[in-house]
A and B are shown apart, each in its own frame.
Chain A
């Protein structure tokens, strides 16, 4: 559906380079990355709103790189919704119809459907000034969908909503995506959102793509150190490899389950892949160590437990219930363990993840 080749563009301090990826028709594609990574620039380049310096953009097999935005059929919904302030909700939603030739009947039907879908019936004659954040959001989505775009770009559409409402809109988005043939491309900072909505996704950093792939792969098998760090692999250590062993810190030996292709590199483990227990571990357990709890950090919905093993700190997450039941408090002696499969190996040269290193 969308194919981007060697895309490069520069816009007042935000640059993107060498962007290559493609999105299938009807896919829900997620774009993630830190602030200032160039995500919005990438969206605006796709929509034709900013000039492209190099590279090509194909939509439905057609080269649209030099096509003006109004000819691309790419809708965009911004984080701050940007409804036209001088028009009512109805006028906003129907705005795009001025420039498209649709059958009157067809547009009326579509308008009614959208009004119903987004529960906007009571708001149609209001001006945007008198709407709440969630209402603005729904109108912005309806306005973009009214003209049947082949691609819809969403720039952090949920980040300005309050958490309860976010959940609703999230499910609504999923439903709309499933019921329409439109390809969605959404920027988000919220991992839960990304995992719930996205089929595939990409991580952008400093204007470059770090990884493209299925959402599970990005979270479970990050290809680069940056992605590992970005998706919350908080346990990253320099390592020396010897056969199927990795030696970290002052000689802590880990079983990595396979032969490493390199002698020196780094390993990473997700906090949720590390299990902490109060009871002494079973001797058969591989990668099981005893340690002392150095800190317990409240993260809102869960607690991050830092366990000191020799001179190394391992970070794991537990729920409040387990924390209280197991009495995981500062200074308590605990045992931690993890499977060899959850250890991710990164080669030292640019710390690219090595597929062959995994079983």
Chain B
């Protein structure tokens, strides 16, 4: 009996330590700036612009991940093929690669020393120091999160549902849009949220590819470097609040239906 009790207390205390470890710095940061500091920060055009740019690029990255990642996630969920493990490993690569390395790697391809970079330049597409560059980087780091979530969603749908649909006369496309998608869209939304969350928090890779235009994390870093903690905290609070409210809204939109399935 005593042993079980000890074990119970170990789990509870470790859990509490983890909670405090995560929450304490966040609460401290959110409560540190005064209201007037927060108001001043949001009146600053640079702050608003950078937060909007962050939200907008992360959202765009998530949307593009959704478009190109969905078919891939579907194939990975439904088919067994030689080299599947390898493909899955490649998709996970961006998660394990250090962030500045991601930035440098992307610059290596889109820079002037690579034919793709030269081709893009000729087409008038600028990657370095542009929104295009930011979105490219964010897709790179966010895509694995979308693919994982969507794949799991597809795996939870019995292939027999699709088989019955086809036996009733539906083509694979009709089956996907009438059966698979309506049953998997919640997982896809979760994937989009995960992808956007990962993208909005990216700093290291973005700073290499595009210091300007400034996304919020870069602005926060710049304020911290130039003026210190006091001046970076209000911007950070606004960024966190915008992100959290966006994610809560999206989660809320998907939750009520979850009870039905």
A322 lies within 8 A of chain B by Cβ: no
Are A82 and B161 neighbours in the complex by a CB distance under 8 Å?
Answer: yes
Contacts A85-B183, A86-B182, A98-B174 known; A80 to B160 CB distance under 8 Å? yes
Contacts A82-B161, A84-B161, A84-B179 known; A74 to B167 CB distance under 8 Å? yes
Q: Could you say which interface size class chain B belongs to?
A: 20 to 34
The residues of A that contact B160 with a CB separation of less than 8 Å are 78, 80, 82
A49-85 interface with B by 8 A CB criterion: 49, 68-70, 72, 74-76, 78, 80, 82, 84-85
Are B167 and A75 neighbours in the complex by a CB distance under 8 Å?
Answer: yes
The residues of B that contact A144 with a CB separation of less than 8 Å are 167-168
A143 lies within 8 A of chain B by Cβ: yes
Least CB distance, A156 to chain B, in whole angstroms: 13
Are A47 and B163 neighbours in the complex by a CB distance under 8 Å?
Answer: yes
Least CB distance, A227 to chain B, in whole angstroms: 30
B164 lies within 8 A of chain A by Cβ: yes
B13 lies within 8 A of chain A by Cβ: no
The residues of B that contact A321 with a CB separation of less than 8 Å are none
- Docked Cα-Cα span, A149 to B164, in Å, equals 13
The residues of A that contact B166 with a CB separation of less than 8 Å are 48-49, 68-70
Chain B, interface SS category: helix
- Docked Cα-Cα span, A305 to B149, in Å, equals 59
The residues of B that contact A98 with a CB separation of less than 8 Å are 169-170, 174, 178
- Docked Cα-Cα span, A98 to B160, in Å, equals 19
A/B pair count, beta carbons within 8 Å: 69
Are A143 and B168 neighbours in the complex by a CB distance under 8 Å?
Answer: yes
Residue of A nearest to B166 (CB): A69
Q: Could you say which interface size class chain A belongs to?
A: 20 to 34
B11 lies within 8 A of chain A by Cβ: no
Are A70 and B171 neighbours in the complex by a CB distance under 8 Å?
Answer: yes
A147 lies within 8 A of chain B by Cβ: yes
Are A76 and B170 neighbours in the complex by a CB distance under 8 Å?
Answer: no
A301 lies within 8 A of chain B by Cβ: no
B254 lies within 8 A of chain A by Cβ: no
- Docked Cα-Cα span, A129 to B261, in Å, equals 8
A44 lies within 8 A of chain B by Cβ: yes
The residues of B that contact A100 with a CB separation of less than 8 Å are 169
B80 lies within 8 A of chain A by Cβ: yes
Partner of B80, one of A12, A49, A80: A12
B165 lies within 8 A of chain A by Cβ: yes
B158 lies within 8 A of chain A by Cβ: yes
- Docked Cα-Cα span, A98 to B260, in Å, equals 25
Of the listed residues B158, B167, B169, B172, the one surrounded by the most CB atoms of chain A closer than 10 A to its CB is B167
Apart from A95-B178, A98-B169: 17 A-B pairs, beta carbons within 8 A: A12-B80, A49-B163, A49-B166, A68-B171, A68-B172, A70-B166, A70-B170, A76-B163, A84-B179, A86-B261, A95-B165, A99-B168, A99-B170, A100-B169, A127-B260, A144-B168, A147-B168
Please name the 3 residue pairs, one residue from A and one from B, whose CB atoms are nearest each other, closest first. A99-B169, A96-B168, A69-B166
**What are 29 contact pairs spanning A and B, CB under 8 A?**
A12-B80, A44-B163, A48-B166, A49-B163, A49-B166, A49-B167, A68-B166, A68-B172, A69-B166, A70-B167, A70-B170, A75-B167, A75-B168, A76-B163, A80-B160, A82-B158, A82-B164, A84-B161, A85-B183, A85-B261, A86-B182, A86-B183, A95-B168, A95-B170, A95-B178, A96-B168, A98-B174, A143-B164, A143-B168
